[in-house]
A and B are shown apart, each in its own frame.
Chain A
Amino acid sequence: MAFVNPKRKEVQVKIVYYGPGRGGKTTNLEYVYQKFNERIKTEMVTIKTHGDRTLFFDFLPFDIGKVNGYDVKIQLYTVPGQVKYNATRRLVLRGVDGIVFVADSMSVRREKNIISLKNLQENLANYKKSIFKIPIVLQYNKSDLDEQGIPLLTFETLEKDLNSKLKTPSFKASAIEGTNVVQTMKKIISLTMASIVKELR
């Protein structure tokens, strides 16, 4: 839940990147960090294992300037995707305002995407939030692997698996190459801000 500070004229908004392990959530934030590096004055915070898997979360604050006279501070987080880390994943979701679900386009990960989305729904319900009401954007990541001949799920299959009920904006992307990473982020920020701006009037 975003906090509005009328004294500082500031709003803090929490956006969480969710999805199966190794899907590319951390890579999304790393790309944003590097791309906007003169605008982001602080270090990216990461709590990870030796093998580079997210253990708790990544955190990246991102100022988008003024909206309706308020300074908007977007706080980007990732969760650990590995199934065993559900307790910490749930902690990161606390007070979330918007979600990017990063799915892995590799055919072998089809089941993992579906399980992770269901897990998101359950964890949101734990905070009395509905996956159908919260701003959410889907990202079908690793589309670059196509060129290497790695079997990928088609856009239609991914839509059918993950977006048939949500009916929310979705992007084919490659976090490693930066394709559609910024577009995904812009979309979730605009959806989330739209729901917040109504309350700022």
Chain B
Amino acid sequence: MTYTLGQKQLDNIEDLLQKDLIDIGVRCVFLIDMAGNIIANRDNGKIKHDVYSLAALAAGNFGAVSAMAKIIGEGEFSLLFHKGKKENIHFNKILTEFLLITIFSNEISLGFLRLKVTETVDKIKKTLESIHAP
């Protein structure tokens, strides 16, 4: 079984990630599914992370936290945030199958980032609703 998105839809998503997130100073952003596949990713060109490993770990990490949520009777944690000295990672679940992950430095405030992420998520939700992932 495979699933896919059209070229136009992917262009659309990548455009949004660029304009709404990278252009405001986010270092790196990627949209993945819960299996760990990368659907789209963008970065500011200055850093090269190993995105495939990051995606696998992010999907696993989010899956583990979701399973914990279930055990404690919380439906889900739709947001996750890991804070570092210089770099931070923010996870935002989209529908049931997707995750938007942003990596950003302390130069951007968490509040502002959340606002931008929420806006972006609202915009790409429609496109993602059209597909049925794992």
For residue B108, which residues in chain A have a CB less than 8 angstroms away from its CB?
A: none
Chain B interface SS verdict (over half): mixed
Q: Is B6 an interface residue (CB 8 A)?
A: yes
For residue A199, which residues in chain B have a CB less than 8 angstroms away from its CB?
A: 1-2
Q: Assess the A3–B1 pair: CB atoms within 8 A.
A: no
Mask: chain B, 93-132; 1 = CB below 8 Å from A; 0 = not: 0000000000000000000000000000000000000000
Q: CB within 8 A of A127: which of B4, B7, B38, B134?
A: B134
Q: Assess the B7–A91 pair: CB atoms within 8 A.
A: no
Stretch of B18-26, B50-58, B72-80, B81-89 that contacts chain A: B50-58
For residue B133, which residues in chain A have a CB less than 8 angstroms away from its CB?
A: 1, 3, 95
Mask: chain A, 162-201; 1 = CB below 8 Å from B; 0 = not: 0000000000000000000000000000000001100110
Taking the nearest CB of chain B, how far is it from the CB of A173, in angstroms? 25
Q: Is B33 an interface residue (CB 8 A)?
A: yes
Q: Assess the A95–B134 pair: CB atoms within 8 A.
A: yes
For residue B44, which residues in chain A have a CB less than 8 angstroms away from its CB?
A: none
Q: Is A52 an interface residue (CB 8 A)?
A: no
Task: Determine which residue in B4, B35, B39, B59 has the highest number of CB atoms from chain A within 10 A of its CB, and name it.
Answer: B35
Q: How far is the CA of A199 from the CA of B1 in the complex (A)?
A: 8
Q: Is A75 an interface residue (CB 8 A)?
A: yes
Nearest CB in chain B to that of A1: its residue: B134
